[in-house]
Amino acid sequence: MDYSRILEELARASLFDLYRLQVAMGHQLDDPGRIQEIKRQLEPGREITYFDDRANKLVQARVVSLQRTRLLVENTHDHQRWSVPLCSVNLEGVDTDIRSPANQEGLDKSQLKTGDQVGFRDRQNNELYGQVIRLNRKTATVLAGDDSKWRVAYSLLFPILDSERAGDQNLIEGQVVGSFDKETIP
C-alpha cells in the first residue's frame, strides 16, 4: 500500500470525510476475524516488528505473551516491555516510510521518525543539524550537535543524508570511470 499517495488524497478531504473514514477504520480494526487471524500467526518467543505511533517507526521486538486484543512484547534494542495493539504488528513486512513530494518544502510529521537526522535554520539564519528525539503535535524536538535541544516546526526542517545510513536512502551505487571537461560534452 502506498501510504504517501493515500496521504496526498486525504489532504484534499474535508474534516467530515476524515472523521467518517476514522469511524469506518475503527470498525475494521475491531473486527474479531482480523484479530484472530493475527493471533494465529503469533506465539511467545517469535521475533516481530510493530509500528510505534509515538516514534513513527517500526520497532523490533520479541513476543512475550498474547492478550485478547493486545500483545506483550520486549523490545530488542532496550529490552523494555510494552503492551501493543495486535493491529500494530507488521507481519507482512510492509514499508511504512512516507516520502514527501518533490515540490514540498519542509517536512511533515508523518515523514519523520525519532532518530532521523535533520537540519534547520535558527533565527540568525545559521544552519543547524541534529537528531529528532521527539515528535510533538506541531514541532519536532531536535538534539543539535552541541547538545542543545530545539523545538522546530516541521515545515522548517529538511532531511540530512547520513553516510552511515546510506542504505536507508533511495541511492544508487556507482563509481567514477574518468573525468571530462565541459568541452567534451556534446
| Reported pTM | 0.64
Q: Please classify residue 54 by burial: count the beta carbons closer than 10 Å to its beta carbon, then call 0-12 exposed, 13-18 middle and 19+ buried.
A: exposed
164 found inside a domain: no
Q: Are residues 40 and 114 in the same domain?
A: no
| Domains contained in the chain, number | 2
Question: Is residue 129 included in any domain, yes or no?
Answer: yes
User: Is the confidence at residue 170, as pLDDT, over 70?
Assistant: no
Better-predicted residue by pLDDT, 6 or 61: 61
Kindly state whether residue 172 falls inside one of the protein's structural domains: no
Provide the domain limits for residue 37.
3-88
The mean pLDDT of 164-170, rounded to a whole number, is: 44
pLDDT of residue 167: 42
71, part of any domain = yes
Express each pLDDT in 119-144 by its tens digit: 999 888 889 999 999 999 899 999 99
**By C-alpha distance, which of 43, 115, 50 is closest to 81?**
50
Q: What is the CATH number of the domain that holds 129?
A: 2.30.30.140
